[in-house]
Chains A and B, each alone.
Chain A
Amino acid sequence: MSRFRISITRRSEPGRWFAAGTVCAAIGFGFVLAGCLFALGGVNPLTAIARIIMGSFGSLYGLKETLTKSIPLILCSSGLILAFRARFWNIGAEGQLLAGAVGATFIALRSDGIPGSLVIPAMFVAGAVCGAFWAWIPGILRFRLGVNEVISTLMLNYIIAEFVQYLVYGPWKGSQQFGFPYTDNFHADAVLTTFPGSRIHLVTLGIALICAALVWMVMHHTTFGFSVRAAGESSGAARYAGIHAGRVTVAAVAIGGAMAGLAGVGEVAGIHHHLSYPWSISSGYGYTAIIAAWLARLNPLTAILSSIFLSGILVGGDTIQTAMNLPAATVNVFNGAILFSLIGSEFFMSYRIRIQPKVVP
C-alpha cells in the first residue's frame, strides 16, 4: 500500500546548465559507486579517488599524459559526431584510425624521394585518404545495397587489424628489428616533434582542435551541415528539400573517417615511430571515442572536454595499481562505474521523474 506515485514524463530538450549539472552528478555518482568497490578491496575510497585524479589532472606529469592520450580521442570523436548527426552508426573509427596509420607508414617507409619538409604533410594526407576510404566502404554499402552499417563498420575493424598484422609480419617487417613484427623505425623526417619533456605531438593536437572547431562550424553554419542534419533527422523531408540524403551522408561519414585516419597518423608518427601490432597502435581509441561523442551530446566542442576527461580516467587508472597495489581489472571496474552512471544519467535528462502523494479517488 504505497502512498506515493511515481510518474515519468518526457522532458523537452534539457537546458545547458541542467545538462551540465546532470553530467557532473552522474560522475559524482560513479565515484561513489567506484568508491564502494575500492572499500571492498580494503582501500580507503577517498584516498584512491584522490590519487586517480591527482595522477591524471592534478600533476604536470599526469596532465601531459592525459593530453597526449586525448589527441586521438578528440579526432575520432569529432569525426564520429559528423556520422552520428547523419544517423549513421559508425562503430569503425578504430579501423579508420588503423587505415590512417597504414597510409602514413606507407609514405614514411618510402620517404626517400620526398623532400624532408614534405614527408609529414604527405603522411597526414595519405592517412586522411586511407581513413576516408575505409569509412566510405560501409557508407556506399549502406546506400547502394542496404547493408547495416553497425555490422559492416565493426567487421571492417577486424579486417584492417588483420591486414596490419600481415604487413608487420610480412612485407613491411623491419630489417633492423631482429625478426620482431615491427616496421623499421621511421626516418627523422617522418617523426613528429613533441612538446619538450612530454609525448604531446603538437601538430596532431593542433589538427585535432581545428578539426573539432571545423566540425562545429560546418554543422551549425553551413548548408552542408544543415543537409547532414536534415538527412539524419528525416531523409524523406530532406528529399523534399532537394537534399540527396545518401550522397550527403556518405560524404559526412568519409570526412569523419579522414579525421580518424589523421589520429592514426599522429599515433605512428608521434608516439610509436613504427607500425606494429594493431592493438598496440590504437589501444581502443576508436571505441572510447564513441563514448566521448555521446558524452558530449554530439557537440564537437564539448567532445574536446569529454575526450580529455576520458583519457584522464585511462591515465589516472595506472595509480590504482602503482599506488594501491590493486589488480589491473580494478581500473576497468572504475572506468566502467563512471561510464555506467554517465549513460544512466541520459535517462534523467530525457525524462522528468516526479514522486507525488497518491490521489485517493
Chain B
Amino acid sequence: MRGFLRIGGMMVLITCLCGALMLTACQPAKAPDKNGNPDTGDASAPPITGKIKAGFIYVGPVGDFGWSHAHEQSRQHVMKLFPWMESTYVESVAEADAPRVIDRLVQEEHCDIVFTTSFGYMDSTIEAGKEYPNTLFMHCSGYKQAPNVGTYFAELYQMYYLNGLMAGALTKSKKVGYVGAHPIPEVVRHINAFGLGLREVNPDARVTVKWLFAWYDPAKARDATEALIAEGCDVIAFTQDSPAICEVCQEYAARGKQVLTFGHYSPMQRFGQDAVVSGQLVDWNGLYEEILMRVHTKTWTNRDYWWLAKERATLLGGEPDVPINPKFVEPLKAVTVKDPILGPISVHDLALKRLDQMREPTVLFDPFTGPIKDQSGTLRLKPAERASMSMLLSMDWFLDNIDGTIPKN
C-alpha cells in the first residue's frame, strides 16, 4: 500500500469548509442593523433614533500629515464632542470611484450626511444629491450647490500673505522660490498672496515658481527645491503635502547655509527647527462642529462656507500656537518697514498686526486689495478694490513680481 496525499484534493476540501462557514456567516450580516432597525431593504429610510451618522470620503490616506489627515483629525474631534454622532470613513478614494463609495455610504451605511473632501468629487456629489434627496451632502472645495448639497472650505491665502511678509524681510538674495503642487486656482491664489506679502516688505524681490504636478511626491519636491536653491533662491515656500522641503532646508542649515521655508497645512516645524520660519495651518474642527450641529438641530441649509482667519479655520505658524518660530523673532524684529497707516513698524509686528486685522469680524485688511497688476501689466484690481469671490476661485494669472507660467489651453 502506497498511501499518498494529493495536496490539490486537500485544497478542495478547505474550500468546501470555507464555503460552508461563509454561508452561516452571511446570516448575521443580514440581521438587524446597528440601530436595531430591521433591514427593510429600503435604502433611503431615515434612521428612527436621534443619532446622526456621517460618512467621510478622503482622497488620500489618513496617514500622518497633509490634507486627508487634517480632515480625519477633525472627524475624531467631533466624534468625541458629540455623543449623538456616529461616523465612518473611506480613505484613498479615486475620483472615478467616488459615486460608488457615496452609494455605499448612503445605501449600506445609511449615512444622514456625507462629506466629500476633494475637488474632484464635485460632479459626483451633485449627482448623488439628485439621486438621494433625503440625504445631505457637503462637498469640500467646490463651487456647485444644490438643495441638499452645500460646500465648505478653509482657505489659506491670508496665511501665505503673512509668510510672504516674513520672506521679504529674511531674503538676502532677493530671489524666493515657490514649489507648487498643481497649476490650479487654489495654488495660484496661494502664490499670488505670498507674492503680495513679499512685495510689501521687499519691492525688488521676485518669486520663481516650479510645478510638481503632484500633491504628494517627496522626491520631486526635493529635486525642485535643490534646483531653486541652485538658481540662487534663499527662501522657499510651497503648496504640496510632504515635509520634504523642510527637511532639505534643514540639511542646508546643518551644513551652515541658510535656506528658509514655511510649513504647509500640517505642523512641519518639527522637520526643520532651524529653517522653518512660520507656516500655514488648518483647523477643520470649527467647520465640522458648525455643520454637524446644524444637522443635529435641523437648521442645516445648503450654505457655502468659506472660512478664513476670521473664523479661526486657518492659523499662522509651523506648529500649533507658535505663529513664528522663536529662532526668527529677533531677525524679523530687526527689519523695519514704513507703512502708510501704521508708520514705521518691524516686520514681526506688522505680520501679527495684519493677522489681527484679518481676524476682526469686519476683516479690516485683505491681501487681495488693488492696485494689483498681473505679469503682462494688466490692471486686475483697481486701487482699493478687493478681489471678488469669483476672481479668487478662478484665478489663472500671476502677479507682476512672479516668474513662472501657468499652463494655458
Contact = CB atoms under 8 A, between A and B. Distances in A.
A348 B11 CA distance: 10
Contact of A179 (B4, B10, B120, B396): B396
A357 B2 contact: yes
B384 interface: no
A325 B94 contact: no
A25 B11 contact: yes
A110 interface: no
Contacts of A322: 55, 88, 90, 101, 104-105, 108-109
Contact of A169 (B16, B103, B213): B213
Contacts of B99: 199
A24 B95 contact: no
Contact of A321 (B3, B8, B91, B395): B91
A172 interface: yes
A195 interface: no
Given A280-B96, A318-B100, A321-B91, A26 B22 contact: no
B98 to A, nearest CB: 10
A50 B22 contact: yes
Contact of A47 (B7, B12, B28): B28
B334 interface: no
Contacts of B95: 276-277, 280
Contacts of A170: 407-409
A329 B60 CA distance: 11
Given A169-B183, A170-B409, A51 B11 contact: no
B182 A181 contact: yes
A50 B29 contact: yes
Q: Which of A26, A65, A178 has the most CB of B within 10 A?
A: A178
B4 A355 contact: yes
Contact of A323 (B109, B143, B183): B109
Interface string B172-190: 0000000000111100100
B91 A328 contact: yes
B216 interface: no
Contacts of A26: 11
Contacts, number: 155
A350 B394 CA distance: 61
B393 interface: yes
B90 A327 contact: no
Contacts of B48: none
A323 B30 CA distance: 13
A170 B109 CA distance: 40
A328 B21 contact: no
Q: Which of B6, B12, B101, B108 has the most CB of A within 10 A?
A: B108
Contact of B90 (A24, A50, A59, A328): A328
Given A28-B19, A58-B26, A327-B61, 15 more contacts: A28-B17, A28-B18, A29-B14, A32-B14, A46-B22, A49-B25, A65-B103, A179-B185, A181-B184, A283-B94, A318-B97, A321-B89, A321-B90, A348-B8, A348-B11
Interface of B: 2-8, 10-12, 14-19, 21-22, 24-26, 28-29, 55, 61-62, 88-92, 94-97, 99-101, 103-105, 107-109, 119-120, 143, 182-185, 188, 213, 393-396, 406-409
Interface of A: 18, 21-22, 24-29, 31-32, 46-47, 49-51, 53-55, 58-59, 61, 65, 165, 169-175, 178-181, 199, 267, 271-272, 276-277, 279-281, 283, 315, 318-319, 321-323, 325, 327-329, 345, 348, 352-357
